[in-house]
Every structure is written in C-alpha cells, then in structure tokens.
Amino acid sequence: MSTGAKKVRDYELLHEVAQAVADADSFETALSETIELVCQSTEWVYGEVWTVNSAGTELVPSDSWYGSGEGLETFRRVTEKTSFPRKVGLPGRVWDTGEVEWLQDVSAGPPSYFVRSAPAKAAGLRTAVGVPIIDMDEVIAVLAFFLGEPKPTDERWVSLVSTIGILGGLYARKEHVVELEAEREDLEERIEASPIGVLVYDASGQIVDVNPQGADILGSDVDDLLSERHDEQTFEFFDIDGERIATEDLPVARVFETGSPVRGVQLGVSTPKGERWVLLNAAPVSDDSGAVQEVVVVVEDMTSRYSWEQEIARQNERLSQFANAVSHDLRTPLTTAGAALALAREDPSKENFDRVESALLRMEIIIDDVLQLAREGRKVIATDSVSLASVAGQAWESISPPDATLEVVGDMTIQADQERLQRLLENMFRNSIEHGGPTVTIRTGRMDGGFFVEDDGPGIPTNEREQVFEMGYTTGDSGTGFGLAIVREIVNAHDWEIRGTDSTIGGIRFEVRVR
C-alpha cells in the first residue's frame, strides 16, 4: 500500500474513532468500540482494554476484541484472570510512564517482562503495543494491540495510536467541565502532530481553543483565532451546490440546540487562503444538569480528496461522452466501408475501393480528433507568458489556408501552455473556414479580460451557440464535430471561459476570458 493510501486509511480510522467516542454512552463503551474499529480496519488481530480498579491500585481487564481462533480465545481467558500493578507487565509499564510502548516480540524477553508470553506465543501473538488513555495528566486506561508476527517499531503507527489514545481520552472530558481549562493545554500539546484539527467553542458559541492544524484548515493561525472573538458565523460555510448554509443549520449551533453530537458533515468553507472542503464532527461537553457548556469539533481538510473525486467524476463523464461520440460518429463510415467492400467483392473496380479508402480515412480523422480531445482535457500545470499575435501567426501558418484572410487587430501577453493555445487557435480558424468558406476573413485580437476570434461567415443561430461545443456536433458535411469540443477542453484546462456571440464583421465571434 502506498504512503498516500496509508494516510487516507489512517485519516478514515481517526474519523471513525472520533465518531464512536462522540456517540458512546460511557467511557468503557468508547474504548471498546475503539479497539474494535482499530482491529477491523488494520492488520492488528487482537485488542484489549485495561482500566484502573476502584481502589486505584491495579489495572484490570475491561474488554477485548479479536477474530476467530482457539488460541486467541485461550489468551482471552488467561487475560480475564490477570491484573497488573504499576510497572508490571506491558499494561502496568504504560500506566506508569504514560507513554506508548512497543514490543517487537513478546516471546523474546523474560516472562517477567511480558507476563502472558506463553499463552501469547500459543495464540500466535508476537508484536504488542500499549497505548495510554490520558485525562488531566493521569493515565486512566490502557489499550493494547497485538500482531501475529514480529515487527519493528513503526513510527507512523505510534503516531496514529497516540492520536487515537487522545481521542479516547476526550470522553473523560465530559466528566471534568470544571477542570477543562487545565486540560486544554494538555490536549493541545498532545495533538500537536495530529493530522486533524480540534476546535473548542464555549457556551456563547465563540472559539476558545484551537490546535495549529485546526487554525491552518481555516486559513488562519492560533493567535488570530483566539485574539479576536470568532464563531461559526465568522466563516462562510456552503453545501455541495454552493449554497450558503443557514446559521441554525451549522454543526456547532445544532449541538448547542439539540445537545446531541453531529458527525460526518462535509461542508465547503471560504477562508483567507481560498475555498476548502472539510469533514466535521462535533460533540457536546455538558454539566451535571445536562446543559451543553462547550462543543468540541474535530475537523479534517478534505479539499484534495474532494478535488480528486470531482476530477474522477468529470473524467468518467468525459469517457462516457467519448464512447457515445465514437460509437455514433464511426457508425456511418463503418457502414459505408462495409457496403463498398461487399460491392468490391462482386465488382473490384477502382470506384468501389476508393469508397472503402474514403470511409477508412474518415474513421482515422475521427479517431485522431477523439484522441486529441482526450489529451486536451488534462489540467494545465505549467504556463508561460506568450504573445497572442505570435501564436496566432504560428497557428495560421500551420493550417496554411490559401484564400482565407487573417487579421490580428491587437496583441496581448497570456499566461498559457503555448502548444495548446496554438491548437485552440488552429481549431477555431479551421471552424471558420469550414463554415465560412475558403475566402472567409478571420479576425483575432485583444479584448477586455481576454481575446476573441471572429469571422464574416454565416454565423451561428443564438439557440445553437452552446451546442457547438458538444462532441460530435457539426452542421457541415466534412466536419467531425470535435473541433470546437477540443477548443472547450483547452479552455477548461486553463480555467478560462468561452462563449459565442455576434461578430462585429457579420459572422460568429468567440470570446475567451482568461481571468
């Protein structure tokens, strides 16, 4: 699995744990669901929860989760009869140090170091890691996870389970509202390396604490967010359709209104650093009467994944359009070639073979246009400063129309992929010649916000000016209908805009706004 894929999986697991913690009705339930989620989502085959007994003298088994296997069941039964004082065994040492501990092979050391080494070996468990659950600088529980083979310390996994341990400890915060101020400092330090943002809103709906990741996701920094009063209304949130979300429907407002957690909400947000897509989970922190005193929000920047999903959807749509266009436009020349070939078998004259050759040539042109259309859809990554007049001259020279006329009426410098800009102009020139005739006059030049290409041909009816950019749309006998579709792909790849309007010299005018 690639590093990127592992990070995505880690982020998804963190969200699932955060949601489970937010929804749990007890601290024990939160930890039980945590070990189950971790084992089901990763390679770790056995998880267990250790909690401090009522006397505060020992860790006792609270719950475990594992897959099938007689050896694992035996290991669980042994565990249920075991307890650990401080500094004894893996759970006891983690309880004492408050740090994650990794054992590469539980059967490699003396039995005193891992008390359950014999049943662990019999169950096929080798690697173990202990994770502290901390509240107010105190270890209140320990999670342990096991693998079936020896494995050296994995810093990525240590960082992940450390964050999971922090999220598990969030539940205990609901029982310590009075001591929340001191705990905030501890929480901020411990989630410094977390890939997710955490924000805390007070009863007035203001941000009173935020970690650096949360501030960065909102396009700001910690000092700016805390030095001035900020609430949900400070930020403009919008849905997938771009519609602004009403104040009462925002996650924090909903938690204060209902007293219930809100999870898995995907929103767009306008920040000083641009628009971003975020995934939010919000949980209430209530006092003994049940009144919500604070709301803790876990937020992840999903912009890259959202953009990737949008690009995949766009590519799938384009592939579907390609398939439809190719199947439609190749059908006629293919039928013509088949009929001509059948005639050639009976009458092998030059005329019949010419018809076959013409149909095959038509198919080749269509295929070439479709391939070019696919290539031009790629996003433009690097641009240069190019002269419109210079590129227009190169495009005109490339198509070499003997009788048509090109007039360049104003130059400008454009940030563009020069090769693709030239293809855009070539296709627009060819379109004018195809529909305006061999002696058509074409003008191009600068306009306010971009450039234009117009001709003195017959023009395009107003109700057809959007259709001309669709794949396969043509009114000519020889055109493939891909020329202006390619133009639109090049425009979109640059994040430009194009529209058709009336020409100042009688035909059609295409205006490209380069922003």
How distant, in Å, are the alpha carbons of 11, 400, 510 from that of 42? Answer: 12, 63, 55
Instruction: Compute the distance between CA of residue 435 and CA of residue 431 in angstroms, rounded to an integer.
Output: 6
Structure token pair of residue 413:
């410098």
How deeply is 401 buried, as exposed, middle or buried, from its count of CB atoms within 10 A (0-12, 13-18, 19+)?
middle
What Rg, from alpha-carbon coordinates, does the chain have? 33
Helix ranges restricted to H, 98-237? 117-122, 155-173, 180-190, 212-217, 222-227
Q: Which helix (H) or strand (E) holds 358?
A: helix 350-376
Structure token pair of residue 247:
């104040």
| Per-residue pLDDT tens listing for the chain (515 residues) | 555 556 557 667 777 777 777 677 788 888 888 899 888 888 899 999 999 998 999 999 999 999 877 789 999 999 999 999 999 999 999 999 999 999 999 988 787 789 999 999 999 999 999 999 887 678 889 999 999 999 999 887 887 787 777 766 666 555 444 344 445 555 555 555 456 788 888 888 888 888 888 777 777 777 777 776 676 667 778 777 778 888 788 888 888 888 888 877 888 787 777 777 788 888 888 877 778 888 888 887 766 555 445 555 555 565 555 555 555 455 656 677 777 778 878 888 788 777 777 767 766 655 665 555 555 555 666 789 999 999 999 989 888 888 999 999 989 999 998 988 988 898 899 889 988 899 999 999 999 999 999 999 998 888 888 877 776 555 554 445 566 887 888 888 888 999 999 999 989 999 999 97
CB count in 10 Å sphere of residue 315 = 13
Structure token pair of residue 125:
């468990």
Q: 470 and 356 in contact (C-beta within 8 Å)? A: no
43: Cβ contacts below 8 Å, ≥ 6 apart: 147
Amino acid at position 353, single letter: F
Please state whether 194 falls in left (phi above 0), alpha (psi between -120 and 50) or beta: beta
CB count in 10 Å sphere of residue 238 = 15
User: Among candidates 268, 266, 269, which has minimal Cα distance to 281?
Assistant: 266
Structure token pair of residue 25:
């009705």
Q: Which residues pair with 265 in a beta bridge?
A: 280
Instruction: Compute the distance between CA of residue 271 and CA of residue 275 in angstroms, rounded to an integer.
Output: 6
What pLDDT is stored for residue 277 in this prediction? 79
3 state SS of 63: strand
Give the pTM: 0.38
What pLDDT is stored for residue 305 in this prediction? 53
What pLDDT is stored for residue 180 in this prediction? 46
Domains of the chain: 1-193 (3.30.450.40), 196-301 (3.30.450.20), 303-376 (1.10.287), 378-515 (3.30.565.10)
What pLDDT is stored for residue 513 in this prediction? 94
